[in-house]
Structures are given as structure tokens and as C-alpha cells.
Amino acid sequence: QAVVTQEPSLTVSPGGTVTLTCGSSTGAVTSGHYPYWFQQKPGQAPRTLIYDTSNKHSWTPARFSGSLLGGKAALTLSGAQPEDEAEYYCLLSYSGARQVFGGGTKLTVL
């Protein structure tokens, strides 16, 4: 089974910009992996931020954006807010409709 990798932790200053990445052990991540990004705060269920690489839901703050970058899926946060401190997970789709989560990135806003 494929392994999906994320940075274990990242720190961003309030108002700053940070990019989280999501790689695949099978090679470059493409739009065909339909990358998702989820945000989870302690004690809460995850919330979907991005689907199909770069699409946002109505509830996704405008400061979040998704893309493909250097063979990986990327989530960029521009203008970080204290409330953005959370765990972020990516999800990739593989053949046979199999889905694999990354291990998560703990984002600290400090």
C-alpha cells in the first residue's frame, strides 16, 4: 500500500505564510490523486478545507489554498491566524478507489 508523507510539524508567525506538503511513495502526486486537505482541532471532528487539489468549500477561509508543487500536493496558508493552529491531514486517492491519509502536520501559530 502507498505511504503518504507530511511534515510532522511546522510553525508560522501570526500573519505569516506557510506551505504544508503531501507526498506519495508511488511517485509524483497529480490531480489524478484528487488531493484533499482536512483541518482538525483538539476534541473535534475533522473539517474538509480543500478537495480535488484546489477546490474550496463554502466554509473554507479564503486564506487557505491548495495546489500541486514540486510533485506534491500543497496547502498554503497566507496570513495565518491564531485559530489556524491545528492538525492538518491530506488524503490521496489511488487505483481501485482506495484512499490513504498522510500522517498529519501539527501547525503551530506562534
Q: Which residue type is seen at 99?
A: Q
Kindly report the length of the chain: 110
| Residue whose grid cell is 476534541 | 43
Residue 89 lies near other proteins (rule: CB under 8 A): yes
CB of 48 to other proteins, least distance (A): 5
The three grid cell numbers given for residue 54, joined into one nine-digit string: 484546489
Among 36, 64, 75, 109, binds other proteins (CB under 8 A): 36
Amino acid sitting at position 88: Y
- Contact residues: other proteins, CB under 8 A: 1, 36, 38, 40, 45-48, 51-52, 57, 89, 91, 96-104
